[in-house]
Amino acid sequence: MKLRHIEVFQAIRQAGSVSGAAQLLHVSQPAVSKVLQHAEQQLGFPLFLRVRGKLLATPEALELEREVAKLSDSLQAVRRLAQNLRRQPGHNLRIGATPALALSLLPRAIGEWSARYPQSACELATLHSRELVQGLLMRELDLALSLKQPDHPGLRGEAIASGVLVALAPHEHWPEAERQQPLSLAGLAGAPLIGLSTADPLFARLEDYLSAVEPPPQVKIAVQTYALARALVEAGAGLALVDPFTALGAAPRSTAIRPLSPAFPVTLYAITRADETPPHTLAPLLRMLARQAEERLRAVPAIQA
């Protein structure tokens, strides 16, 4: 099948008729019929059957549709990339971060950056870690904030802040005397833990870190973001091990924060593409982010590296 065949096939599937497909494609109805006929001749089997005035996809067409959908997604990605390549560098900053990092670090830094560069604009997106990498590679982002050093050769990561993983619990979970002390691994034995998705950038390290705990923590609830884990702790649903930047947003009246012993270091990386010079307004933003992250971490001793 040629790309034009696929385009017509998808339009007919969407519209349910040749006339509707012609309208979607902004061509004449005979033109759509001709392309469809040519596609069926090349394939050697019909794609549609006319039943009571409607075109119904044949079983073969339904099988093809699965692969056509994948190809369509790839073509859309190519179009997006081409559009992004036409974009003038420095026009605006496109920044991506996981939800917890976006909420805890970006607002203040972006506010300061906007005041310094009133003629510049920015777009902020909250994405999962894998989506951040994809966004950079597709040139949909100029900067991504992540807790994992990139392992793709086309990306580079700059460490801009660091702290330690902490245990977050409902305020009365530990006796007051213990709240000021680090939490040993033994203190997590059998604990009702709110677990993180296997796609989380810290998951593999955390799994190794907890491997010696006996009995292991009991994961009763699994989530995909640290922000949701924090909210569940605040609601009294259990304990969570979260990065220091997520812990910055914890409600002090309803939660207690304890660093782990031995310490579990966590680094915040600013990730950009390795093959190009970033927009000139990006470096000042990174300095603002690093300074404000350091100031906020310093205010909470339990989460400092």
Note the pLDDT tens digit of each residue in 221-239: 999 888 899 999 999 999 9
Position 245: which residue type? F
pLDDT at 200 over 80: no
Q: How far is C-alpha 183 from the geometric centre of its chain's CA atoms?
A: 30
What pLDDT is recorded for position 120?
A: 85
Residue-level pLDDT at 136: 93
CA atoms in the 13 A half-sphere facing the CB of 203: 14
Domains of the chain: 3-86 (1.10.10.10), 92-161+268-292 (3.40.190.10), 163-266 (3.40.190.10)
User: Amino acid letter at 156?
Assistant: R
The answer to whether 234 and 194 have CB atoms below 8 angstroms apart is no
pLDDT score of 66: 81
Rounded Cα gap, residues 219 and 208, in angstroms:
16
Calculate the dihedral angle through the C-alpha atoms of 139, 143, 149, 151, rounding to the nearest 10 degrees: 10
Q: Which residue has the higher pLDDT, 204 or 295?
A: 295
% helix / strand / coil in the chain, to the nearest 5? 45, 25, 30
Cβ atoms < 10 Å from Cβ of 259: 22
C-alpha to C-alpha distance for 196 and 134, rounded to whole angstroms: 21
pLDDT above 70 for 83? no
The torsion angle over the Cα atoms of residues 10, 11, 15 and 21, rounded to 10 degrees, is: -150
Give residue 24's pLDDT.
86
Task: Decide: helix, strand or coil at residue 270.
Answer: strand
Nearest alpha carbon to residue 113 among 268, 289, 273: 289
Work out the average pLDDT over 152-163: 94
How much is the pLDDT for 113? Answer: 94
Average pLDDT over residues 67-84: 72
Residue 260, SS3? strand
CA distance 295 to 113: 17
> 196 near 206, Cβ under 8 Å?
yes
Mean pLDDT, residues 190-212 taken together = 85
What pLDDT is attached to residue 153?
92
Beta bridge partners of 268: 161
Q: Is the pLDDT of residue 82 over 70?
A: no
86 pLDDT higher than 80: no
Task: Identify the band that residue 147 occupies on the pLDDT scale cut at 50, 70 and 90.
Answer: very high
Residue 276 confidence (pLDDT) = 84
Lowest mean pLDDT among 69-78, 192-201, 279-288: 69-78
What's the mean pLDDT when you consider all of the chain? 87
Residue 77 confidence class, pLDDT cut points 50, 70, 90: low
pLDDT score recorded for residue 84: 57
- SS3 (DSSP) at 205: helix
Cα separation, 25 vs 167, whole angstroms:
56
| Confidence bin at 220 (pLDDT 50/70/90) | confident
